[in-house]
Copies of this chain bind each other. A is one copy, B any other.
Amino acid sequence: MQKVAIIGASGYTGVELLRLLAGHPQAEVVAVTSRQYEGQPVSQAFPSLAGYYDLECEALDVEAIAARADVVFTALPHKSAMEVVPGFLAAGCRVVDLSADYRLRDPLVYEHWYQEHTSPELLADAVYGLPELYRAQLVKAQLVANPGCYPTSIALGLAPLLEKGLIEHQTLIVDSKSGTTGAGRGLKESSLFCEVNEGFKAYGLASHRHTPEIEQNLSQLAGEPVQVSFSPHLLPVDRGILSTIYASLKQDSSTAELLELYQKRYAAEPFVRILKEGQLPNIAFVRGTNLCDIGLVVDERNRRVIVVSVIDNLVKGAAGQAIQNFNLISGFDECSGLQAAPLFP
């Protein structure tokens, strides 16, 4: 049993951590912080959780919380995260940070896309929390940089092709579509129901902040620098990311051959499901779970592969992956607390 704290529980990632941890047999939530809900019971901030927690949301006091918790989940916006993570580490906690602050290895890249990094010395030891790629390192991590939602769906979708060197990197195009929880719980006109519902739009074309994280992953997998065009879109659904990924194949290859490659690559992975030829994934089929479903088709006329990967952005794209990492650093079964079947419909 590990004692855990959730820092910044007023957003959708925070409530999703609480939802999942409520069913985790080896985790006890001992502290929840929230500026917005300070002093209120968790069940008042999130009526869905009434009966699951007796805790009150508290102010963020690193020392006091570190004294109570073994592992800390920081679900703060970037910049706010790096203000508190060093303190928790110094106090002996292990940290799973869900912000962008420790994901990019090169502080200059971080500073180009975000702002000055205030604890660059931690970047070398932070382990990027994508277990399907970095499991060995994660087991020993003090600080896990939990991946972004888009980068997770893309790295898992491309890993087998890049590891085997089967595609022309310069042709890589990623067209991603995310549910609206991805935009957070902040008050923005663009997040209002009537602005999102029955709508669909692209945003951040060729400029989204997840681009360097995506490229860091893909370059690592390829063993050489990879650049992509990354196009996010906003879906009028609560949850789910679907990434449609395009790349030219170096050599002719069939859909069946590539599916077999994927099957083998992910055969031992508990959270990756490779679809059969003729099937394509749907965000509805992973709802509420840590699963990543992948299908693909070879467009033989154009010698191009089209990979479709889906995750639940709040689970495998955030809170679920954080718990998967928590399990790894805690020596627990990697699937602990993450085994419930998808909610469909």
- Please report A residues at the B interface, Cβ cutoff 8 Å: 12, 15, 18-19, 22-23, 46-52, 170-171, 173, 175, 177, 180-181, 185, 187-189, 191-203, 205-207, 227-229, 231, 233, 235-240, 242, 244, 246, 273, 275, 279-288, 291, 293, 295, 297-302, 304, 306, 308, 310, 339-345
User: Chain B contacts of A180 at CB under 8 A?
Assistant: 193-194, 197
Compute how far the CA of A187 lies from the CA of B190 in the bound complex, rounded to whole angstroms. 10
Compute how far the CA of A308 lies from the CA of B206 in the bound complex, rounded to whole angstroms. 13
Decide yes or no: A344 and B297 within 8 Å by CB, A199-B283, A246-B229 being known contacts.
no
Residue of B nearest to A22 (CB): B341
Say whether B194 contacts A192, CB under 8 Å.
no
Say whether B193 contacts A196, CB under 8 Å.
yes
Residue of B nearest to A51 (CB): B273
Say whether B345 contacts A181, CB under 8 Å.
yes
**Min CB distance, A167 to chain B, in Å?**
14
Say whether A202 contacts B308, CB under 8 Å.
yes
**Min CB distance, A109 to chain B, in Å?**
14
Say whether B185 contacts A187, CB under 8 Å.
no
Copies in the complex: 4
Besides A12-B345, A175-B244, A288-B343, 17 other A-B contacts (C-beta < 8 A): A19-B343, A47-B282, A50-B285, A50-B293, A187-B192, A193-B236, A198-B238, A199-B240, A199-B284, A201-B284, A202-B242, A202-B280, A202-B281, A206-B298, A206-B301, A227-B301, A239-B345
Compute how far the CA of A173 lies from the CA of B231 in the bound complex, rounded to whole angstroms. 13
Say whether B200 contacts A235, CB under 8 Å.
yes
Residue of B nearest to A306 (CB): B205
Residue of B nearest to A240 (CB): B200
Q: Most chain-B CB neighbours within 10 Å: which of A12, A15, A198, A273?
A: A198
Compute how far the CA of A345 lies from the CA of B295 in the bound complex, rounded to whole angstroms. 26
Q: Most chain-B CB neighbours within 10 Å: which of A291, A301, A308, A344?
A: A344
User: Chain B contacts of A235 at CB under 8 A?
Assistant: 200, 235-236
Residue of B nearest to A191 (CB): B192
